[in-house]
Amino acid sequence: MDSSLTKSDEAWRQQLTEEQFLIARKKGTERAFTGAYWDHKEAGTYHCVCCQQPLFSSKTKYDSGSGWPSFWKPIEVDAVTEEADHQLLMTRTEVLCSRCQAHLGHVFEDGPKPTGMRFCINSACLTFEPETSR
Ligand code: FE
């Protein structure tokens, strides 16, 4: 983690919308089928809304039917970190940005081949950069 990204809630609030703050910095969840990217199909790269680190490529995005943007792997192995999450009386695996520790979503083992993983990510934690046209 980059220590220059250890910011107070107040500093994050200045940089983010209230929704982005509550989800990315306070481990919230957007309602399914409401985010900007669950049904977004353009080619490009999804970055962390807090620190702009590249996180996921449109090449590994797929329609999971969940109502959240879903990917079968991160853009680089070390782009995200995973942590056990014991909220809601069940154990899930939380996915965080490895650079600024933003909460991104959760990872489940019901994804498509080749990894079998489903990174279920909040749109509010992402910004999208389209692939430059040639
Ligand atoms: Fe980040």
Q: Given this model, what pLDDT does residue 134 score?
A: 55
CATH assignment of the domain containing 102: 2.170.150.20
Question: Could you give the CA distance from residue 68 to residue 86 in angstroms, rounded to a whole number?
Answer: 21
**Is 34 part of a structural domain of the chain?**
no
Calculated CA dihedral for residues 58, 63, 66, 70, nearest 10 degrees: -20
Active centre residues (catalytic): 120
Question: What spacing in Å lies between the alpha carbon of 63 and ligand 1's midpoint?
Answer: 24
Q: How far is the CA of 13 from the centre of ligand 1 (A)?
A: 15
Domain count, the chain: 1
Is 117 contained in some domain?
yes
Ligand 1 centroid to residue 101 C-alpha, Å: 6
Neighbours of ion ligand 1 (CB under 5 A): 48, 50-51, 53, 97, 99-100, 102
| Band (21; pLDDT cuts 50, 70, 90) | very high
In a domain, 8, yes or no: no
Residue 133 Cα to ligand 1 midpoint, Å, equals 26
Mean pLDDT across the chain, nearest whole number?
A: 95
Report if residue 107 sits inside a domain: yes
In a domain, 28, yes or no: no
pLDDT in tens, 63-96: 999 999 999 999 999 999 999 998 877 889 999 9
Domain assignment present for residue 6? The answer is: no
DSSP state of 15: H
Query: For 57-67, what is each residue's pLDDT tens digit?
Result: 999 999 999 99
Q: Is residue 12 part of a domain?
A: no
Which domain, by its residues, includes 65? 47-134
